[in-house]
Chains A and B, each alone.
Chain A
Amino acid sequence: MRIFSGQQAFVLQRLSALVLLAFTAAAALRLGFGAPVSLEQWQAWAAQPAAAALLLLLAAALLVHAWVGTRDVVLDYVHPLLLRLSILSLVGVALALLGAWTAFVLVTHAL
């Protein structure tokens, strides 16, 4: 399936990995060494437009990373063409739906 293939997939996998790594490091530092975060504080933070945009970027990186990774695994292990296309379609639709759901949750919370 030619959605993000070849060198493009390679680059996107690593770019999204760097985004995820930066978020993970920031979250680990904040939660590990900063003051405890209450649920109210988290909700107030996520309601800011800039924070919502950051979280959308995180979600986009996560979904792109998941797509390239699962695609790699399916291409390596699933050889019958029809089964391969079915699984890839299913994964693609599922990730797109998850993206839409995440965007809906984040945007409605921030509005």
Chain B
Amino acid sequence: MNPDRPVFLDLARIRFPVGAVASIGHRISGVLLALVLPFAVWFLQLSLRSDSISIETGGFFRLAALLLAWAGAHHLFAGVRHLLMDVGIGASLPAARASAYAVLIAAAAVGLAAFFL
């Protein structure tokens, strides 16, 4: 790489196309889901070995539910979008931009639903 090449990294002025936002969201949600895997296995163990399970409803748990529901939904929707593009569906730029908006909005809706329900 040429060390003298121009570098423009003014984050406040770089425009992120909606596809890039959906893409980085896919990564962030994926890392988040990977990080909670130990809790998932722990919960599996609890669910198979306990006589009863009570769900916490405090503020912290609502925020955790929002974050996890958003991460799961975003990763799922963005993943389906990628799989469809792999087989050539929705790979044109206008379709890809439209589906990226759909993924962002649907995942946010699932997250909010998890917070309020």
Contact = CB atoms under 8 A, between A and B. Distances in A.
B93 interface: no
A98 B41 contact: yes
Contact of B79 (A17, A62, A91): A17
Contacts of B31: 69-70, 73
A3 B80 CA distance: 25
Interface residues of B, number: 22
Question: In which size bucket is the chain A interface?
Answer: 20 to 34
A101 B41 contact: yes
A43 B83 CA distance: 33
Interface in A17-49: 17-18, 21, 24, 39, 42-43, 46
Given A21-B79, A98-B37, A102-B44, A39 B30 contact: no
Interface stretch (B4-12, B47-55, B56-64, B100-108): B47-55
